[in-house]
Amino acid sequence: MPPSAEPPRASPAAAASDTPSASDAIFYGVLNGLEAQRFVPGQRLVEVDLAQQFGVGRNSVREALQRLAADGIVDTFRHRGVAIKSLSVQQTRDVLDVAERMTGLLARSAARGIGQEGRPADAIAAALEQLRAAEQDQDDEAFGRARRTFYRALLEASGSLELRRLFPSIQMPIVYAQHRFASLQKLRLRDYRQIGAAVMDGDQDAADAAGMQHVRNVREEILRKIGADAAGGAAA
């Protein structure tokens, strides 16, 4: 599920060029930084600091921040600048509701692309192997990269321009940045394997079901952890 993240977030303009722009460096740098815990929800983003960190001009920083705001990754406050979005419990539920439908649709579309239109499944298999290796090495940053590769492979298999436009706007990078625990990553790997297997088999119904179930599993685990933390806080 996106990422997070995630998942591939290339704009049509970026996709048309093999050379990333200065604003791309910041845009993807913030997204990747969320995965690697270099940035956290609620953190203020200061233009001059980002310009120095990424070695770009202030105009490129402003462009990247506008893109991040358009994708719902940051909030812009009058007189207070820009901060990475932090989601309430209800907002997290809302994001997951959208992600559930979209992930099922993406998996179904990818299975159709492979099963009926003969698109290759090699990239999906390779991404699953990267996920497995990252989990084995307990490398969270590598797992994040592999997760984005997995979703990018699904989008390529789907061949849907509309999914390529809409899927990256889901605020899963914020969800995963706010909720970091080992059981969630193991759950994601297990579910990605099930999604990948159904897609590579060209089984549209199974892929759709696996994609939606994955987000349900993520929702259940996050809410369970929130409930446990709340109970622990009340007891203390």
pLDDT tens, position by position, 119-169: 999 999 999 999 999 999 988 888 888 998 999 999 999 999 999 999 888
pLDDT reading at 3 higher than 60: no
pTM (2 d.p.): 0.81
Model pLDDT for residues 176-213, shown as the tens digit of each residue:
889 887 788 889 999 999 999 999 999 999 999 999 99
**Count of alpha carbons within 13 angstroms of residue 126, beta-carbon side:** 10
Tell me the CA distances in angstroms from 42 to 34, 72, 76, 82, one per residue in order. Answer: 11, 13, 11, 9
Mean per-residue pLDDT, 81-98: 94
Residue 18: pLDDT band with limits 50, 70, 90: very low
Q: Which amino acid belongs to residue 226?
A: I
